[in-house]
Amino acid sequence: MRGTADLDAALGLLRRHYGYRAFRLGQREAVEAALTGQDALVVMPTGGGKSVCYQIPAQILQGVTLVVSPLIALQKDQVDGLHGRGIPATYVNSTLRRQEMDLRLAEIGRGAIKLLYLAPERFDDPRFSAWLQTVTVSLLAVDEAHCVSEWGHDFRPSYFRLADVRERLGGVPMVALTATATPEVRRDIVGRLRLRDPVILIRGFDRPNLHWHVMREERTGAKNALLVRLLHAAPPDAPTLVYASTRKAVVGLAALLRTHGLAAGGYHGGMPSVRRREVQDAFACGDLRMVVATNAFGLGIDLANIRRVIHYHMPGSLEAYYQEAGRAGRDGEPADCILLHSYRDRFVHEHFIDAAHPSRETIRAVWTAMRARADPSGLVPGRVVSWARTCPGEPHQVYASLRVLQRAGIVDRLRGRRACYVRGVARLDAPPLDGIDEAARQVWERLVETAGESLVRGVVVPKSWLARWAGGVERGRWALDRLRASQALEWCDLEREGGCRLLDTRPEFDGLPIGWTSLQAHRELELTKLRRMERYAYHKGCRRAYLLRYFGERTRSSCHACDACARTRPWTARDEHRRPVPEAAALRALRALRGRLAARHRLPAYFVLEDRVIVEIARRRPRNLEELLEVPGVSRVFAERYGAALLRTLKGAARA
């Protein structure tokens, strides 16, 4: 570390905001790396405290720490959690209006906020990139870093560009963090992000409190009945996640459970964002104890006391399974991870793999269709769905082909907020411009000048062009509104989704720089992962050992906590491991207080106080603030805000 003062400052922040006197295994080394300007790769299991590795250095370093986070829900929950700890942080994403975004960026510029959460695509925004040149960036933290690896289970091409982003920021230190990474993925992360002589910190994947079970049932009706029996047999107050592979299955299973008297919410990526947020918040706050979901659910959930994670379908890889199942028992208390397996589960994933790896013929057809529609500048107007029907194969194979072409640098997709699609009337020299204000007329004239006759077919227009033509971002947005309104006058068609741009217009498809060997290798890897997942389902030995070997760890031959070793059914072996819960009246009173505080501040209950901390408070029965601060997990910020109310609650429970 840069000095004793920094170590003391880091420990002081840990005590004040997190309520702990010492770092967990691996955290101190990661904090030291960040404060001394070293790159680091941090691999810690779910609930291991990865976020502390950059949140504490961010408060000590000069300037702002940028945290790349893949999901909007995850960004918001992380920021809400930091606010609950008394740490100023913010996020910028597509849910914010431009004015609100500008206010947040201005606060960072004044030094009032030291942590900024954003998606990797944000760095593609020229306006945001220009703002970055006006501030000091001290650290670049890449959360869910396995997304950078083509061999990982959540690959996102936008993560590829982060190494270049770091260089544009002046080569600032980078810390990459993930919970699930095989040795191959770890090597890929280091290479793709171009980490410089990184400190590599790998904390064991073993979660001794998790109990692993596989229950096989081939018939759908019998499998549904088994799921219902399991949920009815479990403690009713324990939060439960049920994962399914498809949206259709989520809807059907949630309805099935409700018909059997089980209050279950459904969650999948096709639901309206408002409804998804309602389900997530209700689950996080404890109002909803059971959710059936696709893998779209979970990254934004940091709930510590999930007691059961049930997979109705087998996931496509052990990485995905371990990450999703690992959302159980983050409080360290016993929890069950159950896979309901049937052989037919593999067919769904084989279909997903085929869809994600289109054939050479399909990619050729997509490229040919784009060339046929492209204008001389390479712009392919209109929504993808409007011309995808002309290509062979299913729609998702067309989109997969676009991703292949995009990754090869042949196509740039211009989506949503970045571009719009405009089509003009047949006679560009004399359009019916009556009723159009001067700004819109000026933009229209520039469109005609730039696009020429192509405007009759329709063109994709980057919104940055509109801003430049209109004399500023706000005027560009206003001109776009005028153009949109002009559709009623029937001289202009406008769609919000932009389309695509061909970056490589060479005439011969076979000469395009597409890595066919890599594509085939990636497909074979996905099939290999599926086979390894299936072997887990049929494995006769210790399931924990099987998982840990996959992630490169040695372990004992028997864990006494899986169905193969303990030979128990779910929720029967767990009781003997559960700690006795002291002071039931105090616990009930403390949880009721937590619920009221969470509702008052519009926060999930676990942001106020985790279950394991409540149990420890009830056991110790502190009599004053000094004794309360001795409880692990009680921060000074919490004690200052809620300590008096908590102590009054304990006294009231003692008299009851």
**Percentage of the chain modeled with pLDDT above 90:** 36
**Residue 322, token pair as written in the block:** 């371990």
| Token output for 418 | 């970045």
What are the tens digits of pLDDT across the range 406-426?
A: 888 888 776 555 666 676 665
pLDDT 10s digits, 69-105: 887 767 887 888 888 889 999 999 877 777 888 899 9
Cα angle: 404, vertex 406, 407; to 5 degrees:
65
Write out pLDDT tens, residues 307-334.
899 999 999 999 889 989 988 888 778 8
Which range among 34-43, 227-236, 564-573, 579-588 shows the weakest confidence by mean pLDDT? 579-588
CATH 1.10.150.80-classified regions of the chain: 584-655
Residue 482: the pLDDT is: 64
pLDDT for 91: 94
More confident residue, 461 or 633: 633
pLDDT at 580 (0 to 100): 45
Domain with CATH 3.40.50.300 in the chain: 4-202, 210-342+539-577
pLDDT given at position 25: 86
pLDDT at 512 over 90: no
Whether pLDDT at 574 is above 50:
no
Say if residue 281's pLDDT is above 80: no
The predicted pLDDT at position 573 comes to 38
State residue 421's pLDDT score: 67
CATH of 210-342+539-577, one of 3.40.190.10, 3.90.1010.10, 3.30.70.120, 3.40.50.300: 3.40.50.300
Encoded tokens for 8: 């003391």
Tens of pLDDT along 139-192? 999 998 888 876 555 566 678 889 999 999 999 999 999 887 788 888 999 999
**pLDDT, tens digit (0-9, with 9 covering 90-100), for 44-69:** 877 778 899 999 999 999 999 999 98
Among 95-109, 245-259, 528-542, 596-610, the minimum mean pLDDT is found in: 596-610
Sheet with 90-91: strands ordered across: 90-91, 115-118, 64-68, 137-142, 174-178, 40-43, 199-202
| Per-residue model confidence (pLDDT) at position 306 | 87
pLDDT for 456 equals 67
d(CA 525, CA 188): 14
The continuous run of DSSP H or E covering 285 comes out as helix 273-285
4-202, CATH topology level: Rossmann fold (3.40.50)
Query: 521: alpha, beta or left, given left = phi > 0 and alpha = psi -120 to 50?
Result: alpha
Residue 334 belongs to what H/E stretch? none
Decide if pLDDT at 382 tops 90: no
Look at residue 23 and give its three-state secondary structure.
coil
Considering the domain 584-655 in this protein, what is its CATH number?
1.10.150.80
Residues 6+ apart with CB under 8 A from 452: none
HSE-CB at 513 with a 13 A cutoff on CA atoms is: 9
Query: Which residues, at least 6 apart from 363, have a Cβ–Cβ distance to it below 8 Å?
Result: 401, 404, 405, 514
pLDDT of residue 419: 63
Q: Which has the minimum average pLDDT: 102-111, 280-289, 330-339, 481-490?
A: 481-490
Of the pLDDT bands very low, low, confident and very high (cuts 50, 70, 90), residue 112 is very high
Is the pLDDT confidence value at 3 over 60? no
pLDDT of residue 104: 94
Q: How much is the pLDDT for 454?
A: 65
The secondary structure of 206-229 as a DSSP string is --TTEEEEEEE--SHHHHHHHHHH
Could you tell me which residue, 310 or 551, shows the higher pLDDT? Answer: 310
Residue 192: CB atoms within 10 A of its CB come to: 19
Tell me what pLDDT residue 2 has.
53
Which one is predicted more confidently, 578 or 164? 164
Mean pLDDT calculated for residue range 296-306: 68
Extract the tokens encoding 481.
Answer: 């509104």
Q: What is the pLDDT of residue 29?
A: 93
At which residue do the structure tokens 């191959």 appear?
184
Q: What value does the mean pLDDT of the chain take?
A: 82
Tokens of 565: 């070793």
The pLDDT value recorded for residue 222 is 94
pLDDT of residue 304: 73
Residue 245 has pLDDT above 60, yes or no: yes
Confidence of residue 473 (pLDDT cuts 50, 70, 90): low
Is the pLDDT confidence value at 8 over 60?
A: yes
Name the residue among 161, 162, 193 with its Cα closest to residue 406.
161
Residue 130's pLDDT is 87
